[in-house]
Amino acid sequence: MQKGIMRKRRASQLSEYGKQLQAKQELRGEYGLRERQFKGYVKKVLARKNTQGSDTNEALLQNLETRLDGIVYRMGFAKTRSQARQIVGHGHIHVNGKVMDIPSYQVQKKDVISISRSSLNTELVKNIQLAMKKFQAPSWIELDKEKMEGGIKELPKLQDVGSEADIPLVFEFYSR
C-alpha cells in the first residue's frame, strides 16, 4: 500500500464510523471542548430525551450555546470562543452582578451578563467597545452596547446557530 493513500480518502469513502467520528470532532472543535466535557453534554441530552422526548439536536446546541463563554462570544465581547473562555476565566465577566470565572456556567434566560466595572479601563475592553459599534448580535441575544451587558432573550433554535456539523451522526457515535 502506498504512503498517504489513507489521507487522501474522500468523505464519500469514509466508513459510517468515520463519518460519525468526523461529525463529532467537527462539533467538538467548533466549541473548543475536550472529549470528556463534550461527551458529558451529549450523554445529558440523550438521558433527557429518554424522559422528555425532546428534540435532541436542538437541545445539544442549546446546551453548548448557553455556556457562559459561548454567550460572551455571541454578545461580541470576544472575537473567538477561545478568547471568550479566557475573558471569562480571568474574571472580566459578571453574571447578575457577581464575578463568574467558570466558562462552562450555564446561562439562564433571566441572567444579566456584563463586563466588570474594574475591567472597563483595560486595553482589552476598550478594543471590544470599538468592535461593538459594528457588531450585530444574534436575534436570540439581548444586548445593550452602551452598558456592555445583555442576556438571553430566548433559547436559540437550530437554524439560529448555523452549525455545519451533522448532529444526528454525533448521537449515533455516542450511542454505540
Over residues 1-27, the pLDDT tens digits come to 444 444 455 556 889 999 999 999 999
- How high is the pLDDT of residue 12? 63
pLDDT (tens digit per residue) in 82-128 = 999 999 999 999 999 999 999 999 999 999 999 998 888 888 888 88
Q: What's the DSSP call for residue 12?
A: G
Alpha helices in the chain (DSSP H): 16-31, 35-52, 56-65, 68-74, 81-89, 123-132, 158-161, 167-175
AA identity, residue 29: G
pLDDT (tens digit per residue) in 26-61 = 999 999 999 999 999 999 998 887 665 568 888 999
- How high is the pLDDT of residue 54? 61
Contact 133/145 with Cβ under 8 angstroms?
yes
| Residue 134 in this model has a pLDDT that exceeds 50 | yes
What structural domains does the chain harbor?
Answer: 14-157+166-176 (3.10.290.10)
